Structure 1
Amino acid sequence: MPLRPARPLRAVLRPRLGSVFVIAATSLAVLVPAAAGTAGTAAGPVDDRTLQRQIDRFVSEPGGPPGIIAMLRNGRHTRVLRAGVADLATGRLPHVKDRMRIASTAKAFSGAVALSLVDRGALGLDDTLRKRLPQLPDTWGQVTLRQLLNHTSGLPDYLQDPEFAAVLAADPRHHFDSRHLLDYVADEPLRFSPGSRYEYSNSDNIAVALMAEAVTGTPYEQLLRQLVYRPLELRDTSLPHGYRMPEPYLHGYDVSDPTSPKDISELFSASGAWASGGIISTPVDMTRFIRGYASGALYGKGIVREQRRWITGASEPAGPGRNTAGLGIFRYTTRCGVVLGHTGNFPGYTQLVAATPDGRRSLTFSITSQINRTSDPARLEQLRAIQENSVCALLRDGR
């Protein structure tokens, strides 16, 4: 598909801030009281020792993940908790600079790209697919960028398409044309009238990336580098199209047979996830990312206000506490306070990244097996309880 810039590329990609970590002090940056937390959590605050015992127990249970690493940061002070191993073959411990598949937390990156372009005037939140991507089905034409970012678009999810599933089953390392993933569902109507309800769809963020490319004439991978990696100083983050993982990395496992975990770190090609979940990063980089992204450091206050117009909706898998959805971000209201972020799951990996609305306190919680409501709903509820306790440990730190 020919992609031409709507305006000069240098104007679209001009720097937003002299320093992206200049954080505006607004009323949006206040921790608000929380409602009841996830079922099964202990009342009151949690210290690091208690949290460490919980993640040790979670790893040691039959069917538990081989490894967990959690990175909690308050200002310049960092605490790292870990359990299990990064690699069952060697017994190496998880490290904050290990690469990992970040799964659907990559959707926050497409949100960062899109909102940065809105801030620069290259895109509008009410721009439609018909206006920006007229090659897509006309029946999808009224869907807006805003609806894509908060999952109210009604686009059918390409990951649920039988033909896509068949290709993946025949060859998990199949190299997909990432820019044509929506072709798998192009013959399907919208699932509901755009804006009428919430439904998480991986197709949404593919469309977001294509819109960004259409208005800039620039590949999405390059937009990530220019608008996200460089300003937030992400040194070990990339969007590959193959199945290889750069060393060193957290190995991801299939633990459906607890007696014989299978290393599936390099089983799947990232090309089938692309802007919806294909990024590889590290706990260090994800900490930098979520501190900048949650605080709105990449764009102005007006865009932050639009991003934080919360609606009913949960990330996938659901994050800690009560979930509500914004534009490329979720609000997690726990018993200890509010954090903003995103979750994700990919074969071999489950992720949570979150930060306080001012970006000063952050949490990166990475697991080396896939846990979701389909594969293991009971274990997911255990995980959400531990994640909520992690938020409490983060927010109780008085430094």
Structure 2
Amino acid sequence: MSALSTSRRRILHGALTMTLVTGMGGALTACSETDTDAGAGAGAAKTSARQETSGAQADKRLADLAQKAADGGSAGVIVRVVRGSGAPVDIARQAAWTKADHRLAADDQFRVGSNTKTVTATLVLQLVADGKVGLDDTVEKWLPGLVRGGKDITVRMLLNHTSGLGDFLLTPEFLPSLTGQERRTWRAEDLLAITPPQDPPAAPGKKHFYSNANYAALGLILQKATGKSLTELIERRITKPLGMKDSFLATDAGWSAGKQHVTGYEPGAKQLKSLLAPTVDLPEGIGFAGPGRPGGTIDTSRIDPSWSGAAGGMVSTARDWQRFLTALMSGKLLPEAQMKQMRTTVPAAEEGGGYGLGLMKVDTPCGTVWGHTGGLPGYSSEIYTDADGHRSVAVLTSTNFGIKEKAAAGTNKALVDEAACSMLGTSRPSASPAG
């Protein structure tokens, strides 16, 4: 559900964290056909050919990195790059042993986890624009008695994770549901009831501390302010208007009938305990529920994610989610005032730079990108755009804890950096010309 972090409160991975000149040739060929112009046209053609060769080399390097990541612990990887011109780059690579479960395709459905928070924040800011909710409204106003310290917590603090609330993810009450060992229907109210204080404590508004409890509360505020379910709000205000036909809020462990989905994997109990030892001391035998797979891995595709709701319950595809994020960042979903509020960040080094209202500002080796990350058992994602929403990139990985191991994490980070640089139209500084 959360972005990548070494903090003990966060074990779910979501993030590790130049325009090509194409118009010159057209401008030159429009000139009169003198010998000089013909020579200039030939030069432009050569430039275009070099750019195409360079682009092909970059795409091959990206595909090779995706396969390396899949073989090195990621199991399966989907990469989609939209550079603002030309056809999108779609890549799907997987470890050989996973092919017995299904053949990965670039348009497979995927649990996008905490990327959902950007949708939830967009809905809240739409209500702010409509005058129905105020960013400085207290939580107590909307949810009396439901949130500890709600009189001092504002809607804005929930959105940018400065509320002072802890997280429920690793509590003894919730851990069996997170791993799929216990089948239980969790309401947002139930999750807020077991949410502990931050450790160490922080007063509301003083410190960024990523917590899924913040968005559980926001989901309830949305429903109270509109009288509609979160499922209905997402469909009516986001997915239907944008034509996101393969996206929905999961209310159980099911997937869309007739649509292929990514199979998610996690390490078995013994390896999981070892991987997480620096972060949290898991009780013996605690592991993910699901069918066993080669190498001691577990198929986690049927673990119920419905508890994640407004904090992380969306199912989507790389194409669909890029469509949403591009529409948002280009100003199609929110008025200018609310976009400015969304992009006003607080320092958040663990998120890669800064955190706004449901939106991450991430500093990559090739420049700043905007978006979010996500993680659920078997699923990790990073989806970003440039500042104007003209370019976008999605990297979806079919494991979450499986890339916590140092070598796998390094390979995954190299892939994400390469993909982000490819989206921005430049070369990753550490990448050699030969890839």
Larger radius of gyration: 2
Alpha carbons 1:127, 1:144 under 8 Å: kept: yes
SS at match of 2:240: helix
* Closer/same/farther in 2, CA of residues 173 and 87 from structure 1, 3 Å limit: farther
Offset at residue 289 of structure 1 (A): 1.2
Shift of 1:337: 1.9
Question: Match for 1:114: what amino acid?
Answer: V
Please tell me whether residue 241 in structure 1 is matched to residue 241 in structure 2.
no
State whether residues 148 and 208 of structure 1, in contact with CA within 8 Å, keep that contact through their aligned partners in structure 2: yes
Aligned to 1:273: 308
Would you identify which runs of 4 or more consecutive aligned residues in structure 1 move more than 4 Å? 166-170, 186-190
Moved more, 195-204 or 303-312: 303-312
Q: Compare 179-188 and 306-315 and name the one that shifted more.
A: 179-188
Which deviates further from its counterpart, 286-295 or 379-388? 379-388
d(CA) in 2 for partners of 1:155, 1:288: 32
Q: Does 1:65 pair with 2:74?
A: yes
Change (3 A) 1:243 1:392: same
Cα shift readout 1:104-130 (whole Å, capped 9, x = no counterpart): 111111111111111111111111101
Sequence identity (%) = 28
One of 169, 175, 182 as aligned partner of 1:159: 169
Structure-2 separation of matches of 1:187 and 1:329 = 24
Matched, 1:340 2:340: no
Query: Which piece of structure 1 moves more, 68-77 or 342-351?
Result: 68-77
Gaps of at least 5 residues in structure 2 are 1-17, 20-54, 272-293, 428-435
How far did 1:216 drift? 1.0
Report the alpha carbon displacement of residue 369 of structure 1 after superposing the two structures with TM: 0.7
The aligned counterpart of 2:423 is 394
1:1-399 correspondence to structure 2 within 5 Å: 47-61=58-72, 64-75=73-84, 77-84=87-94, 88=98, 90=100, 92-137=102-147, 139-166=149-176, 168=178, 171-185=181-195, 191-246=201-256, 247-256=259-268, 259-266=295-302, 268-314=303-349, 318=351, 322-371=352-401, 375-396=404-425
Displacement of 1:385: 2.6
Structure 1 or 2: more helix by fraction: 2
> TM-score, normalised to structure 1's length?
0.79
Runs (5+) with no aligned partner, structure 1: 1-29, 32-44
Q: Deviations over 1:221-242 (max 9, x none)?
A: 1111122112222111111221
SS of the aligned residue for 2:215 comes to helix
Deviation at 1:74, TM superposition (A): 2.7
Amino acid at match of 1:242: D
2-side partners of 1:232 and 1:305: how far apart?
Answer: 22
Output the CA distance in 2 between the equivalents of 1:360 and 1:188: 38
Query: Residue by residue, what CA displacement relative to the aligned partner does 1:11-53 show, whole Å, maximum 9, x if unpaired?
Result: xxxxxxxxxxxxxxxxxxx99xxxxxxxxxxxxx982121211
CA contact (8 A) 1:155 1:190 kept: no
Select between 143-152 and 67-76 the one with higher mean Cα deviation: 67-76
The code of the aligned residue for 1:313 comes to A
CA distance in 2, matches of 1:307, 1:167: 32
Q: CA RMSD in A?
A: 2.9
In the TM superposition, what is the alpha-carbon distance from 1:181 to its structure 2 partner?
2.0
How many pairs does the alignment contain? 348
Q: What's the CA shift for 1:361?
A: 0.5
Aligned to 1:39: none
Farther-moved stretch of structure 1 (288-297 vs 97-106) = 288-297
Query: CA, structure 1 residues 97+128, in 2 after alignment: closer, same or farther (shift >3 Å)?
Result: same
- Aligned residue type for 2:335: G
Kindly state the Cα deviation for residue 379 of structure 1 after the two structures are TM-superposed: 3.0
